[in-house]
Amino acid sequence: MTGKERIYSTMRHEQGIDKVAWVPFAGIYAGKLTGHSTTDVLTDEDKLYESLVKVNETYKPDGQPIMFDLQIEAEILGCELMWADKTPPSVKTHPLESNDDIPDYIPKEYDGRIPVALNTLKRLKNGAIGQNTALYGLICGPFTLASHLRGNDIFMDMIDKPEYVKRLLDYTADVAQAMAGYYIDAGADVVAVVDPLVSQISPIHFAEFLSDRFARIFSFIRQKGVFSSFFVCGNATRNIEEMCKTRPDCISIDENIDMPSAKKITDRYNIVIGGNIPLTSVMLYGSQYDNMKYVIGLLDAMDHHNLIISPGCDMPYDVPPENVVGVRQAIDDTEAVRGMLKNYKIGAQQKEIEIELPDYDKLERPLIEVFTIDSATCAACGYMVDAVKVAKQHFGDKIDFIEYKAVNRENIYRIQKMGIKNLPCIFINGELKYSSIIPDRKELFEEIERYLVKK
Amino acid sequence: MSRDDSKKVYLITGFLGAGKTTLIKNIIEGHPDKKIGVIVNEFGKVGVDGSVIAKDGLAVHEITNGSIFCSCLQATFAQSLIEFSALPVDILLIEGSGMADPSNVDAILESIKDKTHAPLIYTGDICVVDAANIDKLVQVSRPAEKQIKYADYIIISKADKVDASKIDAVKRLIAELNPYAAIEVASFSAVSGDILDKVRVFGKEGAEIRQSCNTPSNRPSIIYIKSESGMDEERFKRFMQSIIGDAFRVKGFFKLSGDWKHIDGTTDEFTIKPINIQRETSEFVIFPKTDENSVRNIKQKSAEFLHSAI
């Protein structure tokens, strides 16, 4: 089963799918893997394409977003943006802040940065990635777009000028529908309506102001034969039920919502739920171990029907790639990872276990040690081992090479004794050289040459 | 790292236009001998409030694109706190936006403890509410309600713009949402005396300190639970479910089934979230509702819980 088929089966609410689907939200984070800045991946289609290909290779996602930027529509409609190094741009000015106008311009598919997203989507769709991976087109939800246009006053307006707010939301829902149409025509498998602000109002206000507009957008996407997802951010616990009533195929939540409790509600409506690996405490600051543990906790806490594992939102730019690798592995090979985590814990408690490390100062020739989760099942681990195998072929007997897989206790204790926090990684003569990011041939060969010269 | 380097951290919340920036200016002017840093995050008002404060020659860091307490921006916020911990400031003010969810601040500070260059001590949450519109805002905006619920000190600003009966109504509304916070009525956010000295974070220190804050003396006692060994998560959840309806607020860090968790909640909901920290002891504070039955029930359930845990 390809990742794309897995997403399709999940969205069709099928039972007995081989494993739970995995959708890493690598928006600005895609640039992290290729060294491109946030601005690069949100404005330059070649750099975006290159970065998304790298995301696909490294993380083997079942589904992946094209561009995670809720300001594309607002920018076209007259909001000035402020760009930042490691976060998406933010809205700086609100054209409707001091007037009660309702705009009528609907962005065209050639406006602003829409072509960057659509052209990249088409390129991916027409290649191998499009065959194997479900591609997500992300649009700004009508409530968040209305707040971009109107500013903070939108909340007071809901009390003082409810009819104005409703007309504004009718307009922003029209924009959202047009955007959904562009993504669908360009080949999106899933359209995600991203509306973080939904968590900030009560269910009563959701029902009064938003229900009809969201239902209309999801109905439009459904009629076009494409799947829909409703992304929310923040503590939207009280709104989950109202969100379900708007009939998306999936609801995606972040760490502020207790996922098992929310799934009880989405299950009643036969809606898929996606989430909710914490972005900062687990993905950014946690170790690979923490990420694997969190995901196994999610998999254990919920029935796997109608379930997708994903980060709570767009991943922070500096998330260590090995943490994302660990998540994929925890989903693919849950029992092996469960055993590995157990042994990690035991190993940490039994420091006296005898593992003999090589005497790195007295080696006859450079020793390359590759530590992996398991190169047979973990894609990133396999690439890393392959890179070293190529070097071994080239250098022959001049170097030694060994792989340690974290599949048995002895190797896990060795990994701990080496002080390794993340897998896969490459050590040369006991020195950490590469962690998670696979070195290219030239880079690795030059590094080995340096050790040969030292010898 | 010495304790002398520690920086007091205050959170200042309130809707756009309530008077947060005026309050911050007043605080800065009132402490000419202190170095004050400000993290500004005004949802939808990028660059405006921040630039005003920057003119006073202070360290200011702006966080843009939504709320710092939205999970998407927590990383930026955490990084900003770490950077500030290395600067020579005595006090750090976090100006949260109208969208700010204050419930995550203590968890963020706890989770970056081993990354900061000097200790950041969370010292209090000040909420500024606009007397003219807070009654409407709490109806429509969940954060507006939550900011009042989580505040240690509440300033009713712009009192000069409304009549006395409106002030009384706002006071009643606030007391209903948060019986623990001290309330001060002010015009133009011009509070009397040194507000930073008056603010104390709710915690195990309890009611005694609160008495000095010009607050009602009939505040119920705060219940504090401490454990050296941690608890079973399911048992803890059952305990929480048995008391949450009687609690105005709960908060703490507990080791549950071997892992550290951040616990946070108000009367109608609570969350138990994983947190990447290491502590010596598990601590948990319950603020009961003000009626006798609630206090009695929580005390009884807490005693049973502790007994069963032993």
Q: What is the pLDDT of residue B55?
A: 45
Q: Which two tokens stand for residue A429?
A: 């003569």
Kindly determine whether residue B71 and residue A278, on different chains, have CB atoms separated by under 8 Å.
yes
The yes-or-no verdict on residue B97 having pLDDT over 80 is no
Q: What is the pLDDT of residue B31?
A: 85
**DSSP designation for A151:** -
The yes-or-no verdict on residue B205 having pLDDT over 80 is no
Residue of B nearest to A285 (CA): B276
**B114 reaches A (C-beta below 8 A):** no
Provide the shortest C-alpha distance from residue A105 to chain B (in Å): 22
Residue at token pair 């739920």: A273
DSSP assignment of B127-190: EEEETTTHHHHHHH-HHHHHHHHH-SEEEEE-GGGS-HHHHHHHHHHHHHH-SSSEEEE-STT-
What average pLDDT score do residues A36-51 get? 96
Question: CA angle A45-A47-A51, nearest 5°?
Answer: 115
Q: Return the beta strands (E) in A190-349 as ranges.
A: 190-194, 227-231, 250-252, 272-277, 307-311
Query: Which of A155, A233, A280 minimises the CB distance to B140?
Result: A155
Helix, strand, coil share of chain A (percent; to 5): 50, 15, 35
Kindly determine whether residue A156 and residue B66, on different chains, have CB atoms separated by under 8 Å.
no
Percent of chain A having pLDDT more than 90? 68
**B82 reaches A (C-beta below 8 A):** no
Longest Cα–Cα distance of chain B, Å, equals: 58
**A294 reaches B (C-beta below 8 A):** yes
Is residue B27 within 8 A of residue B104, CB to CB? The reply is: no
Question: Which residues of A, range 383-412, sit inside 8 Å of B by Cβ?
Answer: none
**DSSP designation for B193:** S
Query: Which of A160, A290, A313 minimises the CB distance to B71?
Result: A313
Is residue A102 within 8 A of residue A171, CB to CB? The reply is: yes
What average pLDDT score do residues B39-50 get? 53
Kindly determine whether residue B15 and residue A155, on different chains, have CB atoms separated by under 8 Å.
yes
Is residue B170 within 8 A of residue B131, CB to CB? The reply is: yes
Residue of A nearest to B134 (CA): A156
pLDDT tens readout for residues A27-40 = 999 999 999 999 99
Is residue A148 within 8 A of residue A90, CB to CB? The reply is: no
Kindly determine whether residue B44 and residue A151, on different chains, have CB atoms separated by under 8 Å.
yes
Reported as a pLDDT band with limits 50, 70 and 90, residue B72 is: low
Residue of B nearest to A158 (CA): B140
Is residue A283 within 8 A of residue B72, CB to CB? The reply is: no
Q: What is the pLDDT of residue B2?
A: 44
Rounded distance, CA A33 to CA A317, Å? 10
Reported as a pLDDT band with limits 50, 70 and 90, residue A92 is: confident
Which chain B residues touch A147 with a CB distance below 8 Å?
A: 44
Alpha helices in A269-378 (DSSP H): 288-301, 321-332, 334-349
Residue of A nearest to B69 (CA): A234
- In a mutational test of the A interface, the residue from B43, B138, B140 whose CB has the highest number of chain A CBs within 10 Å is B140
Provide the shortest C-alpha distance from residue A217 to chain B (in Å): 24
Residue of B nearest to A28 (CA): B72
Reported as a pLDDT band with limits 50, 70 and 90, residue B100 is: confident
Provide the shortest C-alpha distance from residue A130 to chain B (in Å): 27
Q: How many CB atoms lie within 10 A of CB B208?
A: 8
Kindly determine whether residue A90 and residue B115, on different chains, have CB atoms separated by under 8 Å.
no
pLDDT tens readout for residues A129-154 = 999 999 999 999 999 999 999 987 88
What average pLDDT score do residues A238-253 get? 96
Provide the shortest C-alpha distance from residue A63 to chain B (in Å): 20
The yes-or-no verdict on residue A186 having pLDDT over 50 is yes
**A147 reaches B (C-beta below 8 A):** yes
What average pLDDT score do residues A393-402 get? 94
Reported as a pLDDT band with limits 50, 70 and 90, residue B176 is: confident
- In a mutational test of the B interface, the residue from A28, A152, A209 whose CB has the highest number of chain B CBs within 10 Å is A152
Which chain A residues touch B259 with a CB distance below 8 Å?
A: 293
> ipTM higher than 0.85?
no
**B273 reaches A (C-beta below 8 A):** yes
Rounded distance, CA B6 to CA A378, Å? 44
Q: Does domain B3-211 sit in CATH 3.40.50.1220?
A: no
Rounded distance, CA A324 to CA A26, Å? 10
Which chain A residues touch B134 with a CB distance below 8 Å?
A: none
CA dihedral angle for residue B66, residue B72, residue B73, residue B76, rounded to 10 degrees? -150
The yes-or-no verdict on residue B212 having pLDDT over 50 is no
Reported as a pLDDT band with limits 50, 70 and 90, residue B296 is: confident
Least reliable range by pLDDT among A4-8, B8-12, B102-106, B134-138: B102-106
Question: Which residues of A, range 89-118, sit inside 8 Å of B by Cβ?
Answer: 89-92, 94
- pLDDT averaged over chain A? 92
Query: Which of A92, A233, A290 minimises the CB distance to B72?
Result: A233
The yes-or-no verdict on residue B68 having pLDDT over 60 is no
**B58 reaches A (C-beta below 8 A):** no
The yes-or-no verdict on residue B204 having pLDDT over 50 is no
What's the start-to-end Cα distance of chain A, in Å? 49
Q: What is the pLDDT of residue B1?
A: 43
Q: What is the pLDDT of residue A353?
A: 64
Kindly determine whether residue B140 and residue A202, on different chains, have CB atoms separated by under 8 Å.
yes
The yes-or-no verdict on residue A73 having pLDDT over 50 is yes
Which of the pair, A183 or B54, is modelled with greater confidence?
A183
- In a mutational test of the B interface, the residue from A153, A155, A323 whose CB has the highest number of chain B CBs within 10 Å is A155
Give SS3 for A388.
helix
Least reliable range by pLDDT among A268-272, A352-356, A414-418, B91-95: A352-356
Cis ω before A424 (30° cut-off from 0): yes
Cβ contacts from A onto B, under 8 A: 131
Reported as a pLDDT band with limits 50, 70 and 90, residue B310 is: low
Which chain A residues touch B103 with a CB distance below 8 Å?
A: 235
**A320 reaches B (C-beta below 8 A):** no
Q: What is the pLDDT of residue A379?
A: 74
pLDDT tens readout for residues A227-241 = 999 999 888 888 999
The yes-or-no verdict on residue A392 having pLDDT over 50 is yes
Domains and CATH numbers, chain A: 3-332 (3.20.20.210), 360-454 (3.40.30.10)
Alpha helices in A78-161 (DSSP H): 114-125, 128-132, 142-150, 153-160
Least reliable range by pLDDT among B23-37, B56-70, B282-296: B56-70
CATH 3.40.50.300 placement within chain B: 3-211
Which of the pair, A412 or B218, is modelled with greater confidence?
A412
The yes-or-no verdict on residue B182 having pLDDT over 50 is yes
The class level of CATH for B223-309 reads: alpha beta
Kindly determine whether residue A82 and residue B46, on different chains, have CB atoms separated by under 8 Å.
yes
CATH 3.30.1220.10 placement within chain B: 223-309
Q: Which two tokens stand for residue A42?
A: 């949100």
Query: Which of B43, B136, B143 minimises the CB distance to A156?
Result: B136
Kindly determine whether residue A90 and residue B66, on different chains, have CB atoms separated by under 8 Å.
yes
Kindly determine whether residue B78 and residue A280, on different chains, have CB atoms separated by under 8 Å.
yes
What are the CA-CA distances from residue A442 to residues A32, A397, A429, A435, A449 (Å)?
21, 19, 19, 17, 10
Give, for B79, the enclosing helix (H) or strand (E).
helix B71-85
Q: Which two tokens stand for residue B91?
A: 């006090």
Which of the pair, A172 or A343, is modelled with greater confidence?
A172
Q: What is the pLDDT of residue B59?
A: 62
What are the CA-CA distances from residue A64 to residues A181, A192, A283, B262 (Å)?
19, 11, 17, 31
What are the CA-CA distances from residue B62 to residues A218, B38, B40, B91 (Å)?
36, 8, 5, 17
Which chain B residues touch A199 with a CB distance below 8 Å?
A: 142
- pLDDT averaged over chain B? 79
The yes-or-no verdict on residue A268 having pLDDT over 90 is yes
Residue of B nearest to A94 (CA): B44
What average pLDDT score do residues A111-124 get? 98
pLDDT tens readout for residues B248-260 = 888 888 898 888 8
**A369 reaches B (C-beta below 8 A):** no
The yes-or-no verdict on residue B52 having pLDDT over 50 is no
Question: Which residues of A, range 215-274, sit inside 8 Å of B by Cβ?
Answer: 233-235, 237-238, 254-256, 258
